[in-house]
Amino acid sequence: MKHYSVLLKEIIAGLNIKPDGIYVDATLGYGGMSKCILEKLNDKGLLITIDQDEEARDYSKKLFKDINKNYRIIASNFQNLKEILDDLHIEKIDGIIFDLGFSSPQIDDDKRGFSFMSDSELDMRMNLDNKLTAKEIINNYSEEKLLEIFFSYGEEKLTKVITNKIVESRKTKRINTTFELVEIIKKATGANYFYKNHPERKIFQALRIAVNDELEVLKSTLPVAIERLNSKGRICVISFHSLEDRIVKQVFKEYSEVNEMVKGMPNIPNEYLPKLKIITKKPIVAGELEIKENSRSHSAKLRIGERI
């Protein structure tokens, strides 16, 4: 099993790790970043990792076992960050990372249905206990709802013709597999547009976001993470498409500026002062060598904030 942790050196440096600190990897995956954090912690430090994927958790347990025992692997989604920390009786943390990309083994696993490059059931669930699948959305959602999902989450300009073709096709035969959906997208857009613009990438992205409710979860969890940081604690977020990056940028901006209600007042109450210092004025991106070694890193953007 091969998995590359994107911007690994940059995120570990950006986290500014203290050996006795408490850190959270909110998106454990296959443990590459967590392993590096764990190696920097002493006996007083603690690493909390979160992932809803059982295969990823099992793999990471084996990866960590010879480093040290100062870690917890939590079977959950990072949307439950507050409850997870409360259950562990942890009030404040010294750093947290969110790697919003899907790990290579998850994408490459034919059974998961994330990739349009292999034929499999239309699934796309990160948490296999969830009932909603991509197949359910494609076959049962209304045309209006599909339009909204594809346009909002995929930003594909031929959304309407693709949606029309999907709705037309499912009237005669249920759409069950990734290749069936890819073929419908190709017929809807025409071969020239399809091979030049790859609309299937955007449609699959939109479906994945909808199945896992990714953007709403991100929007609600980032403020929780910032509030739980100790002074000088760091939050590091790697996003892989503009929708995610826009949310990260907006939340960081909101927490790094004086509240609009009190801006200009001579004595601003502490609760209205900025809570975050933005470390990365522009997002950090992968270099040529990393992109050459791992093509999935080409769209990665890392933003880092520090709690004031």
Mean pLDDT value of segment 48-72: 91
Mean pLDDT value of segment 151-177: 95
The predicted structure's pLDDT at residue 259:
74
Q: Is the pLDDT of residue 127 over 90?
A: no
Choose the weakest-confidence range: 61-75, 110-124, 127-141, 236-250.
110-124
Residue by residue, DSSP assigns 213-265 as: THHHHHHHHHHHHHHTEEEEEEEEEEE-SHHHHHHHHHHHHHHHS--TTTTT-
Choose the weakest-confidence range: 3-7, 55-59, 159-163, 209-213.
3-7
Q: Is the pLDDT of residue 190 over 60?
A: yes
Confidence label for 98 from pLDDT (cuts 50, 70 and 90): very high
Query: What domains are defined for the chain?
Result: 8-105+214-307 (3.40.50.150), 111-212 (1.10.150.170)
* Averaged pLDDT of the chain: 90
Q: What is the C-alpha radius of gyration for the chain, rounded to an integer number of angstroms? A: 21
CA distance 9 to 27: 17
CA distance 61 to 30: 9
The predicted structure's pLDDT at residue 260:
73
The predicted structure's pLDDT at residue 56:
87
Residue 273 Cα distances to 248, 255, 281, 305, 307, angstroms: 19, 9, 19, 15, 12
State the helix-helix crossing angle for 178-189 and 159-172, rounded to 10 degrees.
130
Q: Is the pLDDT of residue 176 over 70?
A: yes
Give the neighbor-by-neighbor strand order of the sheet with 229-239. 71-75, 46-51, 22-25, 93-99, 229-239, 301-307, 276-278
What share of the chain in percent tops pLDDT 70? 93
Chain mean position to CA 226: 17
| More confident call, 271 vs 238 | 238
CA distance 303 to 28: 18
CA distance 291 to 285: 10
Residue 288 Cα distances to 7, 11, 186, 257, 293, angstroms: 12, 17, 32, 34, 9
The predicted structure's pLDDT at residue 109:
52
The predicted structure's pLDDT at residue 105:
46
Locate all alpha helices (DSSP H) within the chain, ordered by sequence. Answer: 8-15, 32-40, 54-64, 81-87, 104-108, 134-140, 143-149, 159-172, 178-189, 191-197, 199-212, 214-227, 242-256, 288-293
Confidence label for 101 from pLDDT (cuts 50, 70 and 90): confident
Please give the structure tokens belonging to residue 247: 């949310």
The predicted structure's pLDDT at residue 102:
63
Q: Is the pLDDT of residue 73 over 60?
A: yes
Confidence label for 215 from pLDDT (cuts 50, 70 and 90): very high
Give the position of tokens 């909204």: 148
**Among candidate residues 241, 244, 232, the one with its CA nearest the CA of residue 279:** 232
The predicted structure's pLDDT at residue 113:
54
Whole-prediction pTM = 0.84
The predicted structure's pLDDT at residue 104:
45
Mean pLDDT value of segment 256-273: 80
Choose the weakest-confidence range: 106-120, 134-148, 239-253, 259-273.
106-120
CA distance 10 to 280: 11
For residue 82, count CB atoms less than 10 angstroms from its CB and return exposed for 0-12, middle for 13-18, buried for 19 or more: middle
Please give the structure tokens belonging to residue 228: 């739980």
Confidence label for 1 from pLDDT (cuts 50, 70 and 90): very low
Mean pLDDT value of segment 58-85: 93
Q: What is the pLDDT of residues 291-301, one digit of tens each?
A: 888 877 888 99
